Amino acid sequence: MTRMLIMGPPGSGKGTQAARIVDDLGIVAISTGDIFRANVKEMTPLGVEAKKYIDAGNFVPDSVTNNMVKDRLGQDDVKNGFLLDGYPRTAGQVEALDGMLSELGQELDTVLVLTVPDDQLVTRLLKRAEIEGREDDNEEVIRHRLKLYHEETQAVVSQYEGRGIVKTVDGTGDIDEITTRILTAIKN
């Protein structure tokens, strides 16, 4: 059983690589970004609230995100393992996740961190915005999200480094090469 999370700045390829990892390991992907986008599209109460934050390039408040993740981790399909994508992003969320997993008698095995230079991320995200019509991805919002990532999320990586479960992988280059690097890192 593998319980892991994938981290990296917006546009680092987390979603693409998460899909490949879960296929290889036979575990479930849990993407907070996908859940938020689905709720925004359906204009659910959570979606309306989340959209205000997403459109401004800010993180959705911990209380909303924590409750959503707790519910998801309690579902049957995650009992054989999971890959969290987009959570936790703050020290408070790390603490909340630790509590959720403790209640389930579990802990994380691996924290995978993808690294990509900021200028490449901006280029990737602007291209994705054009292709997918994502209103939340313009250059100003992208740079703001990268700044938030570096200020807040990097502290999360540091917490997990202290536990000795972080594996850092270069997220630049060909998608297949990145996948190979990731799977090698996870299995070693």
Cβ neighbourhood burial of 110 (10 Å; 0-12, 13-18, 19+) = middle
- Residues 56 and 80: their CA atoms lie apart, in Å, by 36
Annotation says 14 is catalytic: yes
Residue 86 is labelled as binding a ligand = yes
32 among the known binding-site residues? yes
Is 143 an active-site residue?
A: no
Residue 87 assigned as binding residue: yes
Please identify which of the residues 134, 143, 167, 181 carries the catalytic annotation.
134
Q: Is 8 annotated as a binding residue?
A: no
Is 58 labelled a binding residue? yes
Q: How far is CA 183 from CA 41, 112, 179, in A?
A: 33, 10, 6
Please tell me the distance from the alpha carbon of residue 20 to that of residue 127, in angstroms, as a whole number.
Answer: 21
On whether 128 is known to bind a ligand per the annotation, the reply is yes
Phi, psi angles (nearest 5°) of residue 112: -95, 125
Side chain identity at residue 10, one-letter code: P
Active site residue 89: yes
Annotation says 145 is catalytic: yes
Helix (H, G, I), strand (E, B) or coil at 26: coil
Q: Is 173 annotated as a binding residue?
A: yes
Is 60 assigned a ligand-binding role in the annotation? Answer: yes
| 13 in a labelled binding site | yes
Catalytic residue among 3, 72, 89, 124: 89
Catalytic residue among 14, 20, 72, 124: 14
Given a contact cutoff of 8 angstroms between Cβ atoms, the answer to whether 159 and 94 are in contact is: yes
Active site residues: 14, 89, 128, 134, 145
Sequence ranges of the binding site for ATP: 11-16, 128, 173
Sequence ranges of the binding site: 11-16, 32, 37, 58-60, 86-89, 93, 128, 134, 145, 173
